[in-house]
């Protein structure tokens, strides 16, 4: 298993199952771009959003990862894939988990969550508290892109970090690909040491450039050693458990 190099812990490169890569050719193009940028593997995290993507269960995601891995190997590419998911926080998350299982990342107990509302609801805290109580490590995806007023967002992010929620910055935000505010917040939080992980949230090969520019931006802002902590050391432990 090739786990030397960076590992991306947030991506939508499984072909044709959510709003990510539309087909296998695009998935393989993304893999080639990751390899060229020094990545050794990707945890595939399709949206876990039952009303929009009802087929995206942990069992099916593992099957799709195995199929993409076979295609990657068939191309002669040395690149490791793992299964995961990106759970949009919702009042019925536990019903979904009880029905289909918890979509943990790779071999770890980590669970990637996101939220897009303009305020932080009580059920979001309840889901996170229960994940922690049952031994899971919640990771909040791209907090810098959340829609809360900035002051509320800064306070929320600080509180979640203190509570042990890991914060995953988005490389595309660091390069400005998601707008000025998320660029400013992500750069500020990276320099402040708030992030536990950095990830690409790749959706399509044609939108990879901003992610890779963001990786270089991160290195310029905090240095290669710190970026390695956020994209190699901790991510490697998540992938391999």
- Closest by CA to 82, choosing from 67, 101, 62, is 62
Instruction: For Fe ion, give the closer residue by CB, 96 or 226.
Output: 96
From residue 111 to residue 130, the character string flagging contacts with Fe ion as x (rule: CB under 5 A) and all else as - is --------------------
The tokens describing 140, both together, are: 């909040």
The tokens describing 108, both together, are: 């770890």
86 binds Fe ion (CB under 5 A): yes
Instruction: For Fe ion, give the closer residue by CB, 161 or 168.
Output: 168
DSSP state of 141: E
Instruction: For Fe ion, give the closer residue by CB, 86 or 178.
Output: 86
Would you give the end-to-end CA distance of the chain in angstroms? 13
Rounded distance between C-alpha atoms, residue 29 and residue 205, angstroms:
6
Which segment (67-75, 120-128, 180-188, 193-201) binds Fe ion by CB under 5 A?
Answer: 193-201
Residue from the set 6, 7, 201, 222 that interacts with Fe ion by CB under 5 A: 201
CB of 58 to Fe ion, least distance (A): 16
User: Could you write out the DSSP letters of every residue in 194-207?
Assistant: --SEEE--B--GGG
Instruction: For Fe ion, give the closer residue by CB, 8 or 201.
Output: 201
Instruction: For Fe ion, give the closer residue by CB, 2 or 116.
Output: 116
Q: Please tell me whether residue 113 adopts helix, strand or coil conformation.
A: strand
Total residues in contact with Fe ion, by rule CB under 5 A: 2
Answer for the pair 135, 109: CB distance below 8 angstroms, yes or no. Answer: yes
CB of 196 to Fe ion, least distance (A): 17
Sites of contact with Fe ion (CB under 5 A): 86, 201
């Amino acid at each position: 298993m090739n786990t030397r190099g960076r590992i991306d812990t947030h991506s939508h490169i499984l072909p044709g199952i959510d709003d990510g890569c539309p087909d296998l050719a695009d998935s393989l193009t993304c893999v080639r771009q990751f390899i060229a940028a020094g990545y050794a593997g990707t945890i595939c995290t399709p949206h876990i959003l039952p009303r929009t993507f009802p087929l995206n269960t942990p069992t099916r995601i593992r099957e799709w990862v195995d199929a993409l891995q076979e295609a990657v190997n068939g191309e002669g590419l040395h690149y490791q894939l793992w299964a995961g998911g990106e759970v949009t926080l919702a009042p019925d998350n536990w019903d979904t988990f009880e029905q289909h299982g918890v979509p943990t990342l790779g071999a770890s107990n980590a669970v990637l969550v996101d939220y897009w509302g303009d305020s932080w609801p009580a059920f979001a805290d309840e889901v996170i508290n229960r994940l922690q109580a049952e031994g899971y490590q919640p990771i909040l995806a791209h907090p810098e892109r959340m829609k809360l007023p900035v002051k509320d967002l800064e306070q929320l992010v600080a509180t979640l970090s203190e509570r042990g929620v890991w914060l995953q910055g988005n490389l595309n935000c660091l390069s400005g690909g998601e707008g000025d505010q998320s660029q400013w917040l992500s750069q500020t939080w990276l320099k402040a040491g708030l992030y536990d992980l950095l990830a690409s949230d790749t959706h399509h090969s044609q939108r990879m450039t901003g992610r890779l520019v963001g990786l270089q931006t991160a290195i310029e802002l905090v240095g290669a050693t710190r970026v390695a902590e956020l994209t190699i050391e901790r991510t490697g432990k998540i992938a391999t458990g």
